[in-house]
């Protein structure tokens, strides 16, 4: 799951924000992975790559919803503070929001998984408790 501030959700839904820069101790996503953004829906991770924040330029910032790299770095600093010194790496995650048909298929798969867990002997015992 990828969480975003509410101010970014409309841009993601409109396809204007198609990437995010995340600071993690180790990479938590991989290309091809399906994920979920609350308030938006399911996404497909297209690419994941390490980046150096000080080498980002304005072309890097625009798919992230920022006019300049300085504004992007300022937002990252506000969100994460000074974690760069603590062994964190920066990762660019490029994603696309799945279309309506793909969203429906993902929702159906989720319902089927939940039903299978509920109907399993282990799930039934948990439900009885």
Q: Kindly state the average pLDDT of the residues 8-31.
A: 96
Q: What is the span of the domain harbouring residue 124?
A: 99-129
Q: Which residue has the higher pLDDT, 11 or 116?
A: 11
| Measured torsion, CA atoms of residues 10, 101, 37, 95, in degrees rounded to the nearest 10 | -80
Looking at the structure of the chain, the number of domains it has is 2
Q: Is residue 57 part of a domain?
A: yes
Residue 58 lies in a domain: yes
Does 87 fall in a domain? yes
What pTM value is reported for the model? 0.84
Predicted confidence at residue 87, as pLDDT, reads: 84
Task: For residue range 81-95, list pLDDT tens digits in order.
Answer: 866 567 889 999 999
CA dist., res. 110 & res. 26, Å (int): 27
Q: Are residues 22 and 75 in the same domain?
A: yes
> Per the domain annotation, does 1 fall within a domain?
no
- Looking at the structure, do residues 26 and 64 belong to the same domain, yes or no? yes
Q: Check whether residue 92 and residue 117 sit in a common domain.
A: no
Same domain for 105 and 63 = no
Q: Which CATH number do you get for residue 40?
A: 3.10.400.10
| 27 lies in some domain | yes
């Amino acid at each position: 799951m990828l969480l975003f501030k509410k101010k970014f959700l409309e841009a993601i839904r409109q396809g204007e924000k198609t990437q995010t820069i995340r600071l993690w101790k180790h990479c938590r996503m991989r290309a091809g992975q399906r994920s979920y953004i609350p308030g938006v829906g399911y996404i497909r991770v297209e690419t994941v790559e390490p980046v150096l924040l000080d080498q980002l330029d304005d072309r890097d910032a625009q798919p992230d919803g920022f006019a300049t790299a300085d504004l992007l770095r300022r937002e990252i600093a506000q969100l994460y503070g000074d974690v760069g010194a603590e062994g964190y790496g920066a990762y660019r995650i490029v994603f696309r929001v799945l279309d309506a048909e793909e969203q429906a298929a993902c929702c159906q798969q989720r319902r089927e998984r939940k039903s299978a867990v509920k109907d399993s002997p282990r799930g039934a015992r948990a439900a009885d408790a």
